[in-house]
Chains A and B, each alone.
Chain A
């Protein structure tokens, strides 16, 4: 059953650009990967980071700058962006990992604000305008990612799309593997009962730090990819709004579920696209969604569905 579901989703991913506007799908995939990376931290380790935009946006700036000014190929750009986000994650992690809960959220938020100020003030980030006209470049120096195909009269950036899709699949697979490995099980144990995990001899701080670095790196992958898709790294990417949005995506889809963040990211991004004509009402809608979600379905979409399946009395299985 599970294998069929994955195969169907994979095929849907392959076919998507022919059915929906490709740039929109790419945006969905970037944010879905971002939310999945975030979920590794909050859903499986129980740490709420309110500064994940720093990794997402920070990597976008690093990749954008290097691809634009140092002539890096896109795949190297994404790799370097990921590594930069991982390094940032390591530094953030060392500072925050000893604090928990609310303090952890506040510290990550404050540290992310430092990154925001750097993006705003540093000479190489373009200030308020952001980093514009990032070239999409040649994948491995061979395939032009900027190439547009014309299928049935519609311009489709298929090269770029499959590049993004592959990155998403790799990122998703890494997270999936991490969650279902012994490492993931220990993370869950830490989330449920930290003192007990310590007493069992696990080096809890080190494991949490590792989870934080993985999460930050993959959030960076998403941001780096996003900077190639939109050819732009902007202040929005590093702002606390983005940190809040990724929390909402994950919460809405379902904390600690594999597919939840993807569903949540799709919902939020689609919502923003639909409401983009209404200006700042988008912020209000996002805020209301937050409130409703926290008050009435904390399990999220996928979490609720799983709960329904789990609690269905035996004999009713069809």
Chain B
């Protein structure tokens, strides 16, 4: 097979696109894990929920309100979906996760797994598994941009840019602001931070809300690219778990870099050996486990 420079670059760009989703999702998982010590299995389902908020807002909200011509536009969805899902996250944390902090952390994983099944089951019941396309892509993001070496869809470029912007903003907040320093301190030693008069339970609630809000944001960004389906999150989340294992959950920047580079690796595999594209990240995980079991950026527990 002839590997032209264009083809490789094109796949790398598409890989970067997938990688941006990996980055934003694994970052959300890492932020939640840092403070709650829970791996949020519902992350994929909440990502799906975010996409559905955008889809239903566009297709169903108008008729529901008696205004058939009303469509919740994309920009509103970018704001509303994370808020709705974040609020749901706050409810989940306050009513359920909160009761599990004293028992083995694995129960948190099991609880969120149950929640993921519930969400997925409910949506599968009302919507087709094969997916519905989202038509609310704004005019300005249609078409393609000439990147010299290729024509690249504008929307994909936008989705890379906005995902990275959210990732770096999160990094900035956590690593460079006072609020972030509370968060990091809470990760290290919650009881000490509480002793300094900081409301740790509130911080935990908001962190969970924020983390799942990020997943919903990614869902909205993904909606115009992939078709919106009840199972869109469930396979993605397993890949994201592998990404998290490879990167380790010790550092924010680590999560971002791992996500992006693994996405690009996946893109590259599509050129070199397409059948392995779905599994290359898992094989990478096996390799990392053999060489550096705690993950590339992980700290040994």
User: B-contacting residues of A (Cβ < 8 Å)?
Assistant: 48, 95-96, 98-103, 105-107, 109-111, 113-114, 117, 121, 240, 244, 247, 251, 279-291, 293-295, 298
Contacts and interface: CB of A to CB of B under 8 A. Distances in A.
A285 B289 CA distance: 36
B105 A291 contact: no
Interface of B: 33, 37-39, 96, 99-100, 103, 105-107, 109-111, 113-122, 124-125, 234, 238-239, 241-242, 244-245, 275, 278-279, 282-283, 285-286, 289-290, 293, 301
B31 to A, nearest CB: 15
A254 to B, nearest CB: 14
Contact of B125 (A101, A251, A279, A290): A279
Contact of B118 (A100, A106, A284): A284
A113 B114 contact: no
Contacts of A295: 96, 99-100, 111
B293 A106 contact: no
B113 to A, nearest CB: 6
Query: Interface SS of chain A: helix, strand, loop or mixed?
Result: helix
A12 B105 CA distance: 38
A244 B121 CA distance: 14
A48 B293 contact: no
Contacts of A102: 33, 37-39, 105-106, 109
Contact of B39 (A105, A283, A287): A105
A208 B200 CA distance: 36
Given A247-B110, A291-B96, A281 B125 contact: yes
Contacts of A109: 238, 241
A208 B301 CA distance: 19
Given A114-B282, A117-B279, A279-B124, 14 more contacts: A99-B293, A106-B244, A109-B241, A111-B285, A113-B279, A117-B278, A240-B238, A281-B125, A283-B118, A283-B121, A284-B122, A291-B96, A294-B100, A295-B99
B275 A288 contact: no
Nearest to B241: A106
A95 B288 CA distance: 10
19 contacts: A48-B109, A99-B289, A100-B301, A102-B106, A103-B245, A106-B245, A107-B245, A110-B239, A110-B241, A114-B282, A114-B283, A117-B278, A121-B275, A244-B117, A247-B113, A281-B121, A284-B121, A293-B114, A294-B110
